[in-house]
Amino acid sequence: MDISIVIPLLNEAESLPELHAWIKRVMDDNKFSYEIIFIDDGSTDDSWSIIQGLEKDFQEVRGLKFRRNYGKSAALNEGFAIAQGNSVFTMDADLQDSPEELPEMHRMLWEDGFDLVSGWKKKRYDPITKTIPTKLYNWATRKMSGIYLNDFNCGLKAYKNEVVKSIEVYGEMHRYIPVMADKAGYKKIGEKVVIHRARQYGETKFGLSRFIRGPLDLLSIIFVSKFGKRPMHFFGFWGAVAFVVGFGLTVFVLVQKFIALSQGVRQTLVADNPLFYLALVMLIVGSQLFMGGFLAEMLSRNAPNRNKYEISEKIGVE
């Protein structure tokens, strides 16, 4: 199969028939073999009934329905698990993403050699309350991840199948799939300017809270990908640094006290010196970080996937 199109949705009943017809026309015109996977993320309108009707009338339609709303990341993760196409696309169900972009993005994967192609909504039809925070978010993500995409959160993306099978999407991680793919070893990440259309039905499902949760998820991805199999390298190092600083401050305070006593100079109690409390805090923090790293290392070494690595090719090996 050439293409799988994974479409997460929440209360998008009005747009689904039009979206399906549009995708079908583009796929048929380009003679692709394809499947459309609708993931109903706990809709309370007639979305699932419409998907059932489409599945009955068109063999390319597949669908999953969550019992409740779990979020876009969960929907994408389930869609990726069952996608069979060589190219796997994600797009939103609100008709703001154009299926006309799919053939060129498919070409970029297989002729230009990209592992992932991310859409860039260069011209957006969103209110300023959404565009300005989005620009700040994209800037921060570029700086933190080292991946220079203009639009990390664009719902229209194309992946080689092996990419989506190699990552796990959860929480709010769908915004950082390019980062996860990069950390998994898929470095050929491209970008394509795509058409962004104004929403025709319903209303946006995303609030400003994503700009709080998003950076925290990015930190999680970066930390886990770098130190997930060796947590002691992080916690142990900074624990040792904190402990050494605390020990040094303790020695400084005590030496200062002894010098004062040897010279007959009356000095305040050690416990009245602010440096004493700073030293105490650093010793405690250092010990806790080191112990945390030790426990994390023990858990990591006993994890069932401790020696699971992604292998891209084999020669002469069964």
Under a CB-based contact definition with an 8 Å cutoff, are residues 87 and 159 in contact?
yes
Other CB atoms within 10 A of residue 136 CB: 10
28-42 pLDDT, tens digit per residue, is 999 999 999 999 999
- CA-to-CA dists, residue 84 to 3, 63, 162, angstroms: 8, 14, 10
Quick one: pLDDT at residue 134?
Answer: 76
219, 221, 222, 224 alpha-carbon torsion, rounded to 10°? 110
151-194 pLDDT, tens digit per residue, is 888 889 999 999 999 988 877 778 888 988 988 889 999 999 99
Quick one: pLDDT at residue 75?
Answer: 93
The top-scoring range by mean pLDDT among 4-8, 133-137, 261-265 is: 4-8
CA–CA gap between residue 97 and residue 242 (Å, rounded): 50
93-129 pLDDT, tens digit per residue, is 999 999 999 999 999 999 999 999 999 988 876 666 6
In 3-state terms, what secondary structure has residue 127?
coil
Copy the structure tokens of residue 70.
Answer: 């779990």
Q: What is the phi/psi pair of residue 68, to 5°? A: -145, 180
